C-alpha cells in the first residue's frame, strides 16, 4: 500500500527533533500495541541512536495480551530500551512512567538537573491524551483525527520531569506494504488519504486466515465465507449497506468492518508479531535492494547511451 501523506509540519518536526535531541535524556515513543513494529518510527530510531528510550505500548485493551508481552520482551532486547504496556483506563500505571524514566537516566531527576524527555508517536496513537492525563490538565490538543498536534511544546510535569511534545510523526515512505495497510486499518492515517474498501479487503484476508472464531462470533456466521468478497458482502447485507437493486455497497460495508475492528468489537487482536515482522523485514530489504540495483543499472545504461 502506497502512503502519500507527509504534511509540512511533519518535516518541520523532524528538524526540531534533530535539534532538540542532544539535550534530551530519555526518548518516550508511544506505539500502538496492535502494531508495535508498524507504528514505530524508523526515522526517529535513526535520529536517537543509543539514547535511552521508553517505548509505551498504548491501547493494550485492544491488543492480544500474550502478543503484547511477546513484543515487550522483543523490544527490550535493544540497548537502553524499556517498555510499558498501557491503556489510559489504567491510571495507576501512569506513575510507572516516571520510575522508568528515572531508571533510564539515573544521573538526572533533581531540581538542578531534571529529566528532559522527548515524547513522540505516530498520529492518533493517544499521545496527547496521555500527556494531558500525566499533567492533570488539558495541555495538548486531542482528537480522533490524526495529525492534531502541529507544534512542539514544553511541559513541566513536576517531579523533576520535563516533557517536550512533538507533532504525530509519520515518515516519507513506508517501505513494507503490510505496515502501510496496518497503519490504515488502526486509524493512524487520515481516512481521506485511504480507500476503505482497499484496506478492508486486506483486513478480511488476514481475519479469514488467522481469526475465524472472532468473525463467527461477531457476525453470527454458520460457516466461514469462501473469500474476502463474500465476507464483506455478508457484512454489508447484515448492516443494510445496500444500493439500488439490492446490491451491496462495498465501501459502506468496508467502513463498518474496519470500524468494528477499531472499536474492539472483533476482540483483542494484534495484527503483527515479532516473528512475522522478522520475516517481512527480510522480504522488504530484498525488494529494496532489487529496486536499488535496477535503478543503478538504468543509470549506467543511460550514461553509456549518452556517450
**Which superfamily does 8-165 belong to?**
P-loop containing nucleotide triphosphate hydrolases (3.40.50.300)
Say what percent of the chain tops pLDDT 70: 86
pLDDT digits (tens, 9 = 90+) for 232-262: 999 999 999 999 899 999 999 999 999 999 9
Task: List phi, psi (to 5°) of 115.
Answer: -75, 125
Say what percent of the chain tops pLDDT 90: 49
Distance, in Å, from the CA atom of 81 to the CA atom of 97, rounded to the nearest integer, reads: 13
Intervals of CATH 1.10.1580.10 along the chain:
195-262
Residue 121 bridge partners (DSSP): 30
Distance, in Å, from the CA atom of 133 to the CA atom of 271, rounded to the nearest integer, reads: 27
pLDDT digits (tens, 9 = 90+) for 272-301: 999 999 998 898 888 878 888 887 777 777
Intervals of CATH 3.40.50.300 along the chain:
8-165
pLDDT digits (tens, 9 = 90+) for 64-101: 999 999 999 999 998 899 999 998 777 677 778 888 99
Strand, coil or helix: 153: strand
User: What pLDDT score does 8 carry?
Assistant: 56
User: What pLDDT score does 144 carry?
Assistant: 44
For 195-262, CATH gives 1.10.1580.10
pLDDT averaged over every residue in the chain:
85
pLDDT class of 7 with cuts at 50, 70, 90: low
Amino acid at each position: 500500500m502506497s502512503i502519500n501523506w507527509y504534511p509540512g509540519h511533519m518535516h518541520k518536526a523532524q528538524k526540531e527533533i534533530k535539534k532538540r535531541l542532544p539535550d534530551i535524556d530519555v526518548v518516550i515513543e508511544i506505539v500502538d500495541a496492535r502494531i508495535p513494529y508498524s507504528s514505530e518510527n524508523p526515522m526517529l530510531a535513526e535520529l536517537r541512536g543509543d539514547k535511552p528510550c521508553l517505548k509505551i505500548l498504548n491501547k493494550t485493551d485492544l491488543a492480544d495480551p500474550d502478543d503484547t508481552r511477546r513484543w515487550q520482551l522483543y523490544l527490550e532486547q535493544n540497548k537502553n530500551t524499556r517498555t510499558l504496556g498501557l491503556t489510559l483506563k489504567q491510571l495507576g500505571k501512569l506513575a510507572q512512567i516516571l520510575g522508568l524514566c528515572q531508571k533510564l537516566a539515573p544521573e538526572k531527576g533533581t531540581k538542578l538537573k531534571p529529566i528532559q524527555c522527548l515524547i513522540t508517536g505516530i498520529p492518533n496513537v493517544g499521545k496527547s491524551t496521555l500527556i494531558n492525563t500525566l499533567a492533570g490538565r488539558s495541555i495538548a490538543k486531542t482528537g480522533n483525527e490524526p495529525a492534531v498536534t502541529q507544534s512542539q511544546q514544553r511541559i513541566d510535569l513536576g517531579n523533576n520531569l520535563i516533557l517536550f511534545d512533538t507533532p504525530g510523526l509519520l515518515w516519507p515512505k513506508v517501505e513494507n506494504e503490510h505496515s502501510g495497510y496496518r497503519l490504515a486499518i488502526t486509524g493512524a492515517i487520515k481516512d481521506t488519504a485511504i480507500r476503505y474498501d482497499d484496506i478492508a479487503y486486506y483486513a478480511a484476508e488476514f481475519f479469514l486466515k488467522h481469526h475465524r472464531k472472532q468473525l463467527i462470533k461477531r457476525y453470527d456466521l454458520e460457516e466461514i465465507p469462501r473469500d474476502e468478497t463474500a465476507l464483506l458482502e455478508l457484512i454489508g447485507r447484515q448492516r443494510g449497506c445496500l444500493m439500488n437493486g439490492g446490491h451491496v455497497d462495498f465501501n459502506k460495508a468496508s467502513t463498518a468492518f474496519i470500524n468494528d475492528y477499531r472499536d474492539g468489537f472483533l476482540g483483542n487482536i494484534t495484527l503483527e508479531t515479532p516473528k512475522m515482522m522478522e520475516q517481512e523485514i527480510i522480504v522488504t530489504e530484498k525488494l529494496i535492494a532489487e529496486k536499488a540495483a535496477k535503478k543503478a543499472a538504468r543509470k549506467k545504461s543511460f550514461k553509456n547511451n549518452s556517450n
